[in-house]
Structure 1
Amino acid sequence: MENTDINSALSQDRPFYLTILFLVMKLGFFLYDIVTYIPFKIFANPAEKLEKSQRVKAEPVKKGDCTSPWKNVKSKEGLAKSPFDGIEDLGSNWDECVRRYSDHACMGTREVLKVHKEKQKNGKVFEKWEMGNYHWRSFQAVDKRVNLLASGLEELGQKEKSPVVIFADTREEWMTTALACFKMNYPVATVYATLGEEAVCYAINQVEAETIFTSESLMSKVKKAISNGAKVKNVIYFDSVDPESKGESVECDEPFTLLSFEQLLSKGSTKSIKPKAKKDDIAMIMYTSGTTGNPKGVLLSHQNIVAATAGQGACITLTTEDRYIGYLPLAHILEVCAEMVVFSKGVRIGYSSAQTLFDRAPKIKKGEHGDCFALKPTLMACVPAVMDRIFKAVVDEVNANNKFFRELFKVCYERKRSRYEDGYSSIILNKLIFQRIGKLLGGNIRQILSGGAPLSPETQRFMNICFCCPVVQGYGLTETCGGGTLADFNDLSTGTVGPPLTCCEILLEEWKEAGYSPKNDPPQGEILIGGPNVAIGYYKNDEKTKEDFVMRNGKRYFATGDVGEFRADGSLKIIDRKKDLLKLSHGEYISLGKVETNLLTNPLVDNVCVYGDSDKSYLVALVVANQKNVSSLAESNGAGDKDFEEMCKDEKVVEAVQKELASYASSKLEKAEIPKKIFLCAEPWTPASGLLTEALKLKRKNIEKAFRKELDELYK
């Protein structure tokens, strides 16, 4: 992160006496460097760190021929297919985990002691939770429940290879159910818990499942789907987490069998069940969150998921002492693969949610602690939208302090950044300054994985420095079972998603129209991913399968639609997106995703959708305003006495935000890439409103439709 980036995020008023004080501090740092130069050379060896960071991680199969596929240097003997020798299905993979880690803690759920319901002035009711400790089950105890569940489903009449739908939030019961289905060869059809009624009906009807697992809170959507023709025979629900409302929403006189999760367990047998699936059987029908139209069901075989687990697990060093916090949607491939990897390493999973993750999370009662405080995880996975929120929360926290602390933070931040990029540690600064910030994530985080969308280099470096641990990006899609690339934890650079995983290879394909070619320097092109992790295709959609899954030189690849370039060390950088590329009237191509990624790090912005009309010469943007920071800006522009919705309509406020964003982006974007006009949105965008996917990506068509009038006004 450059100095201008941190300065643009933090307040910049510096009295003269502080300028003198911090010049003295910098002189002190210089003298410290001289004194510690030899000890660092001997004990920390920064040169060795830089060498590890810059080493070659992947290269073309045909040496020197960048038009040939690229492989990880560890894949010369062949692509990885399994974390355990000879195991190719998920049921056997789980059995091996149980055999190895039998008595170790496996899954943990935090007790909800009481739910307080606070009614707001506008009539909305907000829940605030009081929470207790995590309660743990060992691998052996979880396996007992897996066998009970598997035999219980068989008792209900579930047939082998018949799909089972899981429509619920991430929780221990979700994964326990999936493991039972994997053993019995029941394909798991995943449906996001935040999908609207129409999309839920579509997915349930398409898979024609007779059994569905859901949560008490989602029962109304399930009943609606059944009333619209879904032929569901068995509905199993997970109890409400609120101890005072269990069973309130499950009364039913419908013509289907209704059971609680515990009731289904009581129907089963503890006898160990031998896995029934073969490697090519369908393990999951994973419905993508869908940026346009109805969600697509991606067919993932047992081999696909096992291979992806092997590829991702080879990049991460973990022990049975580690703790992973599971809060991302299990209906998303990122969370499924992350949990499969940590199971294979004997790591415990503490379940959480975005609503209870931190002390200041929406459902945590004031004065109570979030799940990170209780669990103290050492590993977590994030999507960029969550990371951007953490970035802004830290900046807000720093700005809320006095001038001295703000300036101290800036000086220490820049000091650590420069040292980090040169391969040095900053033990004293970590203890004095950054350890306090690290407590936001529990204080024990060693590794943070980012995936699901591009993470801006500024946010990545900020997280790197403030949380005192590697923050690495990965790249993959549902169609590649989350497998594609993962950055090396020794890589000190930012902006890349790392080399190909050991389970796959990447081919760059020429895109003449935009000037991308593997023969360029550096090599560029559309990213095609091949290997045992590549999905079978789309469920009941042969046309789309033929379009996206292609043959090249006798090998099968998935054509991602993303454009990448390989660095000299074999790390991949995502530089464009075919569908996000817009040609303006002056003939210049603009990457909308690139513009949005850069603007998202500004403290005034909670979300942004950049729009362009090909007949016009400039871009416009819909900006979801950060209430706290935009209100502060409005006050300095004489509009602080208005309510937030009125503030966002005030011409002076809009103009001030526009100028701030233009100034902020000027060092990162070309002039044609900076939106010329903006519209401020007071209401946040959510999956429930239909404007974001469940992975928090923009639904461009829905946003354009919802704000058609405002976009037209911006171009007048």
Structure 2
Amino acid sequence: MKLKEDMSPLLLQVFRSVVWVYSVITFLPWYVLSGTNASQSRAKRIKACSVSGRPAGPYRSVNSVQQLVSALHESVDTLDKVFEYAARHFPERDCVGTREILSEEDELQPNGKIFKKVILGDYQWMSYEQAFRAAQHFGSGLAALGQKPQCNIAIFCETRAEWIISAQACFMYNFPVVTLYSTLGGPAIAHGLNETEVTHIITSKDLLQSRLKAILLEVPRLQHIIVVDSKPTSWPGMPRGIMVHNMAAVQDLGAKPENMAKPRVHPLPSDIAVIMYTSGSTGIPKGVMISHSNIIAGITGMAERIPNLDENDTYIGYLPLAHVLELSAELVCVSHGCRIGYSSPQTLADQSTKIKKGSKGDTSVLKPTLMAAVPEIMDRIYKNVMTKVEEMSSVQRTFFVLAYNYKMEQISKGYGTPLCDRLVFNKVRSLLGGNTRLLLSGGAPLSAATQRFMNICFCCPVGQGYGLTETCGAGTISEMWDYSTGRVGAPLVCSEIKLKDWEEGGYYSTDKPHPRGEILIGGSNVTMGYYKNEARNLEDFFVDQNGQRWFCTGDIGEFHPDGCLKIIDRKKDLVKLQAGEYVSLGKVEAVLKNCPLIDNICAYANSDQSYVISFVVPNQKQLTALAVQNGVRGSWEEMCNSPIMEKEVLRVITEAAITANMERFEIPRKIRLSAEPWTPETGLVTDAFKLKRKELKTHYQDDIERMYGGK
């Protein structure tokens, strides 16, 4: 992505001359002192190779060619030992932190809606030793309430310190943890609780009142609800036979000498640690059985890809802990003594929706060095910053664009730009606290434009990763020295990857210039399978002649000569049109999502039709400006329902598609604009913001029939 300049030629020439003189004077000393030569060598080196010599693989990291690595620390083979290791080595270090709520108030918006705004104080920290004791007492208290080893217990709670302490308590006492997204609907929650035969559930006051209470009669085995909030202490209106406890009261019960004296059953590496219900982009959620050894192998692979990871790092936790990306990231941090400060998408930055104007968001206070994000969040940051750039004066905008393009050119060569970073990008970098040294992206493909933008404006590498719940989130992560875009890096040291030919899609390991095929991941991080779903286990998992366990991902990838993987398609996203052309819906969405006018898009095609259609969530600012140009007035809903605006947006989309060299049959012929953004709360996307195609199809069924001529 090259940004356009708009300044007088003379001023441009002066600026470029100054940059050239500065580069000449500073290049040699900077090159010698910064270690750039070593970084360039690392970026260009072979990162993985086919251990069989065949183009299909399997491919392994050059650091684990002889043997895959699955041990984090010596003799630390279960998750309770990981926490014990951390408490023993970093007892006084900060472990988990939560910001104090100083005040809350309702703020009336211009559209009449009321938003709740908060003013937050500093982070209050619990040390590793304190967190370990809290978990120990809580686990003992759960046992006193009748929770048995190897019997499932559910955590249905927002991301917060109490979530991870509860999970650590369960790991200590060998209670398999059933995780459920806080945004799941009632039937999905009831399904997960009933399928796993849960008798005890850990939740929050808000979720108990808003979601759980309504389905309690549908979960007959449930006996105990533990609420992590301190208040209230009484819960009227609960069904008979269900007792509600506060977390603090359970910890007090567990701390009693007679309960602490009872021997606990330590887990084995092969025991189930977590049954993680995926948010499910199709159908009802599936429970993935993850053993202690699976998770430890996964976090071992991830930790190896983060250079200099130690107790001096600070991680900000705000993604759903019921998602494998966040849980794995936090366990990586715990295993190395990092501190974890908790946040939420509504309080993350100074401009976040719940932060009162003039007060500080969580990143400004915490100043994290490490952060995980899903592409949807990075796309939002990218579009927000670029909108502000458009609002700058001509001179300011041109200097920003020149600096952006100059830095893009330099980092593509492996060089840094310390002066540009300090003078131009420091303000953007401060949006994430100013200390971020590594951003990890996962959950869905990250566009090249957004990845390059984050590299440049936040002055830190973006490690794009690839993994699934079925592989503990572990598969690949790009190295921090690799500034290429669109790739997900080489296999982690815990995994190996091979490609399987997919004839229907036309992908073969013999393809030139790169071998292509369905991605199969093998290693100790490959999970035990789906809970009570043997048919899917036989379909998606297999064990080879060497005893290695494999998972068939359904994703299509290609290996590059340096051993890095690129995701290029997905089997489930492939639709055959009436004339026989195959359309990858994911590819259409990935290309068009880069259009500034689009916040989100879902491509759709029927096999008995000859063209693609799309549902589009437009960017409010961009669409409003386009409406003014076309003389369309009215509310946001009226603009989105306007046939004139549909036609105009389709024109812009078509131009973007042609510029991106999309095939004629891939370009959407008709669209439907959605005034409502797609969030996990609407049920149209998962907690990782992946599209739920089945739900979107149902939601827009009338529009599908209209666009295909049925209505």
Confirm or deny that 1:684 pairs with 2:677. Answer: yes
Give unmatched runs, 5+ long, in structure 1.
Answer: 241-245
Choose from 103, 106, 126 the match for 1:137.
126
Superimposed CA distance per residue, residues 583-619 of structure 1 (whole angstroms, 9 cap, x where no aligned partner)? 2233222211122122223222121101112233322
Question: 1:368 Cα deviation (Å)?
Answer: 1.4
Distance 1:161 1:192 in 2: 22
Per-residue Cα deviation, 1:190-209 (whole angstroms, up to 9, x for no partner): 01011111111111111111
Deviates further, 667-676 or 78-87 = 667-676
Aligned ranges 1:320-335 → 2 under 5 Å: 320-335=311-326
Using the TM superposition, give the Cα deviation of residue 656 of structure 1 relative to its aligned residue in structure 2, in angstroms.
2.2
Correspondence for 1:227: 217
The match for 2:704 is: 711
How many residues matched?
699
What residue in structure 2 maps to residue 251 of structure 1?
236
Are 1:484 and 2:475 matched, yes or no? yes
1:83 maps to 2:72: yes
2:556 to 556, 560, 563: 563
- Partner in structure 2 of residue 662 of structure 1: 654
Q: Does 1:651 align with 2:643?
A: yes
**1:579 aligned onto 2:572:** yes
Q: CA deviation at 1:22?
A: 1.8
| Aligned residue type for 1:200 | I
> Contact 1:57–1:571 (CA<8 Å) still a contact in 2?
yes
2:83 to 71, 81, 94: 94
Q: Are the counterparts in 2 of residues 219 and 250 from structure 1 also a CA contact under 8 Å?
A: no
For the 8 Å contact 2:233–2:245, the answer to whether it is kept is no
C-alpha RMSD of the superposition = 1.8
Question: Of residues 495, 504, 512 in structure 1, which corresponds to 2:486?
Answer: 495
2:499 corresponds to: 508
TM-score using structure 2 length = 0.95
Counterpart of 2:578 in 1: which secondary structure?
coil
Question: Secondary structure at the residue paired with 1:679?
Answer: strand
The 1:368/1:82 distance shift into structure 2, 3 A limit, reads same
Find the partner of 1:114 among 103, 127, 131.
103
* Whole-angstrom CA distance in 1 between matches of 2:683 and 2:301: 34
2:252 counterpart (266, 280, 303): 266
For residues 344-403 of structure 1, what are the alpha-carbon distances to aligned partners after superposition, in whole Å with 9 as ceiling and x for unaligned?
111100001111101111111122111001100010000011110111111122122222
Residue in structure 1 matched with residue 600 of structure 2 by the alignment? 607
Task: Name the CA distance, whole Å, in 2 between partners of 1:494 and 1:434.
Answer: 20
Partner SS for 2:170: helix
Displacement after TM superposition at 1:52 (Å): 1.3
Residue 650 of structure 1, CA deviation: 2.2
What is the DSSP-based 3-state SS (H/G/I as helix, E as strand, rest coil) of the residue aligned with 2:25? helix
1:213-612 equivalences under 5 Å are: 213-220=202-209, 221-239=211-229, 246-247=231-232, 250-254=235-239, 255-269=241-255, 276-317=266-307, 318-521=309-512, 522-554=514-546, 555-612=548-605
Cα distance, 1:230 vs structure 2: 3.1
Equivalent residue for 1:149?
138
Structure 1 counterpart of 2:304, one-letter code: A
Q: Does 1:167 align with 2:156?
A: yes
CA shift at 1:471, angstroms? Answer: 0.5
Native 8 Å contact 1:82 1:309 kept in 2: no
Asked if the contact 1:498–1:571 (Cα under 8 Å) also holds between the matched residues in 2, the reply is yes
Cα distance in 1 between the residues matched to 2:492 and 2:637: 47
Question: Structure 1 residues 532-541 or 512-521, which shifts more?
Answer: 512-521
C-alpha distance in structure 1 between counterparts of 2:219 and 2:200, whole Å: 14
Amino acid at match of 2:472: C
Q: Distance in 1 between matches of 2:675 and 2:390?
A: 23
Q: CA deviation at 1:275?
A: 6.4
Distance 1:249 1:196 in 2: 26
Structure 2 stretches of 5 or more lacking a match?
none
Superimposed CA distance per residue, residues 110-166 of structure 1 (whole angstroms, 9 cap, x where no aligned partner): 111122123568775421111111000110010110111011011111111011100
- Given the alignment of the two structures, is residue 199 of structure 1 paired with residue 197 of structure 2, yes or no? no
Amino-acid identity (%): 44
Letter in 2 for 1:512: E
Cα distance in 1, alignment partners of residues 647 and 663 from structure 2: 18
**4+ residue runs over 6 A deviation:** 272-275
* Separation (CA, whole Å) in 1 of partners of 2:128 and 2:82: 13
1:20 maps to which residue?
10
Does 703-712 or 342-351 show the bigger shift?
Answer: 703-712
Alignment pair present for 1:128 and 2:122:
no
- Give 1:679's aligned amino acid: R
Q: Deviations over 1:602-651 (max 9, x none)?
A: 22212110111223332211101111221111112111x31111111223
SS of equivalent residue, structure 1 residue 108: strand
AA paired with 1:659? R
